[in-house]
Structure 1
């Protein structure tokens, strides 16, 4: 659920931003149809694109568009792998579950696979895929207006003062466009169907079980898979974990941005007020917070031009979104601080944020809106926005505002899956204590849901992504994950890594 900046890809709301175990269905699960039983062996060949590991190869898996009609129309899932680097040491397949929702996965064996220690790359074929609806898989789109691809539209930032009239119009327009242009495929995009797709991929790979490394939204997909197909899970690593609350699911993830920003902003404020900071914004953390809030209010009243941005101005909400973006990683602190200094001086920002492609935005919206029903009372949204603006001023009501899902034309086809403690004890959760997108409080809810099936490795750090992080990761978390993937051994009890 990493947002768009010049350095990173952003994919809409969820990121808000997310059945049975051992065959025992929970009351709120939708066992529904199985994964495709007719999946055939894969025909591997060269991957499209440039800059890929030369060993990465690609194939296509044909799966039912609608698992309730397995003999009906079929769609294609693009799958990739880098085979074990030491075949004699190979023990299975490690699936890298894409995040988002709406993030591609086809290049992940190259881009994320290289972060894995060599013993892990020796032990596993590293596999990933583009989710249905996007990338090299059979894709769809909503043909959204250009303005609606902006995070300032897809994330429902209210107008200065808290008015939500524009958000209502935007939500209706986006939902109508998706209904008009997305086709039947868009209606089948959901977390439950992604879990079914994964099991179809497993069959095509010829594997009895899969191991997995899922990050962010991939933790929810991984949890739903482990609930629906527990007998096919081996060593299951979930990093930066979504709250699995089956009553709210993605609604809760969006709301959690208010919590996540407040959890992580103190790290930025401490950095930006330190005497040795390369861009010192104030003498104290409280001074940094006051400076950001004051600047946002002034930009609400008088935006600055921002050539190339969508819309082409740095207004208060664009600053708030920039703050949220930067709280994903310490690597982005200096860029945010320089933007604040420049804006305070009336200088237009530099590089503009990038935007997701149409198919990625469509998959993101469809997943969020098809997974769970969203409230439709507009007065309730207005009330919640007003309250949130007071309690969480850094996010100004955005996390509880109205979205396109309130105007979505279709009801969810499957109930949200309730994650339970009934199943194999083979899950390792990894979680930073201060995470803007998947707050620690939500991760603890997933830990409680799993019960003795899981252990949690918490890291006393900020950032989205706790294991195998480039530049500023946790050696302690890396050791725990590596040991689990190689030996199957987890900590006897939950662990806190200090760094």
Structure 2
């Protein structure tokens, strides 16, 4: 599949197993820890499985597996409990504690907690699901393709209907009524209990912020210190959230325009941010008319969007633009087939989860109207976020919604970049409002997806570390100025 697959995989990810090994040391709750599976192995990381109810309304009924991991504190005198973690996605999180440590999570936090990871139900080693997705279907991950017109929406609707039908007839379709954020939050409380802890702290990122919000809503007295980083709005990943991607792109793109203009001697895309913006529309329009090197206008827009999740992606975006602009071969984009163990499971699990969490519009005409509106309001990317997802044709009823509100202890700290393309500040502000006095929010004058410890902003890092290690939050919402890396 070559270059086409590499591009598809890069876009699609912009997101059956029993754990092997002889049991080793036990946790206070009786969990037996042993080696991790190969795809989650990391220095110091231990793994296990626990059983949780398939249906939490029938706790004594059928059980399924949830795979968990532990990066244990090596300082018993300073250890105060567990910090359950989630990387977002939704996606597997078994290796995430080791990834946080590698990202330079402060030693004081590593001393204070056993970092606990887990694959959410339906993912990885936790009773995985499938929709039997083809490589082409896997290529459309979190965000649907940019729709130039109503016909593009109708085409995407047919593709989405096929995916929904595949999910409904797959060998794991029996799990459809039981894969939701609320189900996963209830699993988290089972993990806490299995580890013998009265309370759990939590650090969730991206979709993991919604998971954390649901957990602390369902179990307000079980949460200790709750960190939510790069926040989804309070109703989770629904159609309104998809439409926010357009605002996120608008917020983030000026950072790239400044970068590319400053590097005009290298990339020759324009000497001012205004010229870079014009070049975006020029290249997108050109590729809409005639795709080049397996890149059409929708793919070009998606690559630009996805690789601006971090500043490290800006040079690659500029190189892609330069190659298209000059007719040169594209730079390496994806790391190739086989580097992700199961893309089908990751994308299928996301559909199982988000389509169960809320009701999506079912009329194709509704999507055609909102795409046309958002293309005008947000011409850079609005016609992607407003396009159709398989949830429009989902054949399993949505789970009862969990209303995030202000009832419960004041133990939530939200962290948010001002120019996050994936979870824009606009959505974070809505979650902050929903939490009321339960939360404080730290905003950072920075772009990209992920704050702690990824941006390296001393102001935000200090606030988050102090909260996790001492319980002290800022007295009021805090705005952190930009800091050079």
Aligned residues: 458
- What is the CA distance between 1:165 and its match in structure 2? 2.1
Q: Give the equivalent residue in structure 1 for 2:191.
A: 201
Q: Give the equivalent residue in structure 2 for 1:135.
A: 124
> Within 1, Cα distance between the matches of 2:474 and 2:369?
45
Structure 1 residue 379 corresponds to structure 2 residue 365: yes
Q: Give the equivalent residue in structure 1 for 2:391.
A: 405
Change (3 A) 1:8 1:200: farther
RMSD in angstroms over aligned alpha carbons? Answer: 2.2
Secondary structure class of the residue paired with 1:430: strand
- Taking the TM superposition and a 5 Å limit, the aligned residue runs for 1:143-182 are 143-151=132-140, 155-163=143-151, 164-181=153-170, 182=172
Change (3 A) 1:266 1:277: farther
Partner of residue 331 from structure 1, selected from 305, 312, 327: 312
Structure 1 residue 317 corresponds to structure 2 residue 298: yes
> Within 2, Cα distance between the matches of 1:240 and 1:98?
11
Structure 1 residue 68 corresponds to structure 2 residue 54: no
Secondary structure class of the residue paired with 2:319: helix
Q: Is the 8 A contact 1:139 1:359 kept in 2?
A: yes
Most deviating of 485-494 and 395-404:
395-404
- What is the CA distance between 1:61 and its match in structure 2? 0.6
- What is the CA distance between 1:276 and its match in structure 2? 7.2
> Within 2, Cα distance between the matches of 1:76 and 1:133?
9
- What is the CA distance between 1:214 and its match in structure 2? 0.7
Q: Give the equivalent residue in structure 2 for 1:31.
A: none
Q: Is the 8 A contact 2:227 2:415 kept in 1?
A: yes
Change (3 A) 1:274 1:350: closer
- What is the CA distance between 1:427 and its match in structure 2? 0.7
Q: Give the equivalent residue in structure 1 for 2:178.
A: 188
- Taking the TM superposition and a 5 Å limit, the aligned residue runs for 1:189-268 are 189-245=179-235, 249-268=237-256
Q: Is the 8 A contact 2:131 2:166 kept in 1?
A: yes
- What is the CA distance between 1:160 and its match in structure 2? 3.9
Secondary structure class of the residue paired with 2:60: coil
- What is the CA distance between 1:278 and its match in structure 2? 4.5
Partner of residue 459 from structure 1, selected from 444, 456, 468: 444
Please list the CA deviations of residues 16-49 of structure 1 after superposition, one character each: whole Å capped at 9, or x if unmatched. Answer: x8xxxxxxxxxxxxxxxxxxxxx97311111122
Structure 1 residue 420 corresponds to structure 2 residue 405: yes
> Within 2, Cα distance between the matches of 1:486 and 1:158?
44
> Within 1, Cα distance between the matches of 2:196 and 2:9?
34
**TM-score normalised per structure 2:** 0.90
Secondary structure class of the residue paired with 1:283: coil
Change (3 A) 1:129 1:457: same
Change (3 A) 1:61 1:6: farther
> Within 1, Cα distance between the matches of 2:306 and 2:479?
26
Secondary structure class of the residue paired with 1:314: coil
- What is the CA distance between 1:393 and its match in structure 2? 1.7
Secondary structure class of the residue paired with 1:78: strand
Q: Is the 8 A contact 1:274 1:280 kept in 2?
A: no
Change (3 A) 1:263 1:124: same
Most deviating of 237-246 and 48-57:
48-57
Partner of residue 88 from structure 2, selected from 89, 92, 99: 99
Secondary structure class of the residue paired with 2:48: strand
Structure 1 residue 391 corresponds to structure 2 residue 377: yes
- Taking the TM superposition and a 5 Å limit, the aligned residue runs for 1:262-281 are 262-274=250-262, 278-281=266-269
Structure 1 residue 474 corresponds to structure 2 residue 454: no
- Taking the TM superposition and a 5 Å limit, the aligned residue runs for 1:32-111 are 41-49=30-38, 52-101=41-90, 103-111=91-99
> Within 2, Cα distance between the matches of 1:445 and 1:69?
34
Unaligned runs of 5+ in 1: 18-38, 306-312
Q: Is the 8 A contact 1:78 1:137 kept in 2?
A: yes
Q: Is the 8 A contact 1:144 1:358 kept in 2?
A: yes
Secondary structure class of the residue paired with 1:140: coil
Secondary structure class of the residue paired with 1:231: coil
> Within 2, Cα distance between the matches of 1:131 and 1:492?
34
Unaligned runs of 5+ in 2: 16-27
Change (3 A) 1:8 1:97: farther
Change (3 A) 1:158 1:457: closer
> Within 1, Cα distance between the matches of 2:224 and 2:7?
37
Q: Give the equivalent residue in structure 1 for 2:479.
A: 496
Q: Is the 8 A contact 1:47 1:57 kept in 2?
A: yes
> Within 2, Cα distance between the matches of 1:341 and 1:289?
14
- What is the CA distance between 1:418 and its match in structure 2? 1.2
- What is the CA distance between 1:155 and its match in structure 2? 3.2
**TM-score normalised per structure 1:** 0.87
Please list the CA deviations of residues 51-99 of structure 1 after superposition, one character each: whole Å capped at 9, or x if unmatched. Answer: 8443211110101111122222211111000111211111000111231
Q: Is the 8 A contact 1:304 1:348 kept in 2?
A: no
> Within 1, Cα distance between the matches of 2:7 and 2:465?
32
> Within 2, Cα distance between the matches of 1:289 and 1:190?
39
Change (3 A) 1:278 1:87: farther
Change (3 A) 1:77 1:347: same
Task: Flag the structure with higher helix content.
Answer: 2
Q: Give the equivalent residue in structure 2 for 1:24.
A: none
